[in-house]
Chains A and B, each alone.
Chain A
Amino acid sequence: MRELVAFLARSLVDEPDSVEVTVVEADRATIYELSVAPDDLGKVIGREGRTARAIRQLLVVGSADANKRPILDILE
């Protein structure tokens, strides 16, 4: 699912080369830490967080077979 987050972020931002996704495994969750160029933050969050919510939804669908909950963390 790291690739999903990276693909979506790279497709949405102005500076795709600055996109980084770090995966952190916790006990009951897999955390995807997404970092983008400061000017691109709004593009991955969206108005009222709608873009972030859509990414989270797709992350949940793609993680259906995993026994851990996926968490998208957008780093500021």
Chain B
Amino acid sequence: MAEHDEPREGALLLDDDDDGLEPTTDAGPPPDDGKADEAANALDEVLDLIDLDVDIDIREDNSEQVVLDLVGPDAGRAIGKKGQTLDALQFIVNKIVNRPPKSRRHVVVDCGDYRERHDRGLVTMAKRQAKKAVEQGKVVTLEPMSARDRRVIHLSLAKFEGVSTSSHGHGTGRRIQIIPARSRSRR
């Protein structure tokens, strides 16, 4: 259980000053809802059924969220292509432990620093594309992304000079447009 017992930041925060991602350090102690154990047990059962050899650490358990960390030889398979498997695990575990009428608490399923690295990658990509939008004076449309990933990008570009962002499309096809303040294409 205790391979990573040094305190670390939650999966969803980055410590850059100007990335627009607000810290969630004001999270209080966890309510007595048993969510962390319930989520870890459900996840353990699923991982066992799909034959992945990983252990689960409860990395974070506070008023805001539970963060479960997967550690072991099958960590790579647990992440999957573009994090698809990790996202599926997280989605299904949330569905199981947050069923109405129970109280809700968000469960993050992470694997090492995967989510942090993923978020940093998104921010880097978004800034590069924003720069391109400004330089070329054209709207840049990004790939379709999850609501969470889009949120990371909206926040990271909120203070980026000379562009605004908005989302278009429906369901899994929803994508961000980075719009330069002065568009050359309209002249």
Contact = CB atoms under 8 A, between A and B. Distances in A.
A61 B172 CA distance: 21
A54 interface: yes
B42 interface: yes
Contacts of A4: 46, 49-50
Q: Give the interface SS of chain B, mostly helix, strand, loop or mixed.
A: helix
Contacts of B171: 48
B157 interface: no
B49 A7 contact: yes
Contact of A46 (B77, B95, B96): B95
B51 A54 contact: no
B88 interface: yes
A3 interface: yes
A54 B91 contact: yes
A14 to B, nearest CB: 9
B91 A61 contact: no
A1 to B, nearest CB: 8
Contacts of B99: 12
A57 interface: yes
A58 B95 contact: no
Contacts of B50: 1, 4, 58, 61-62
Interface string B64-101: 00000000000001001000110111011001100100
A46 B95 CA distance: 9
B18 interface: no
B77 A54 contact: no
Given A12-B96, A12-B99, A62 B49 contact: yes
Given A12-B99, A46-B95, A7 B46 contact: yes
A51 B49 contact: no
Contacts of A48: 171-172
Nearest to A63: B50
A8 interface: yes
A50 B90 CA distance: 12
Interface of B: 42, 45-46, 49-52, 77, 80, 84-85, 87-89, 91-92, 95-96, 99, 171-172
Interface of A: 1, 3-4, 7-8, 11-12, 46, 48, 50-51, 53-55, 57-58, 61-62, 64-65
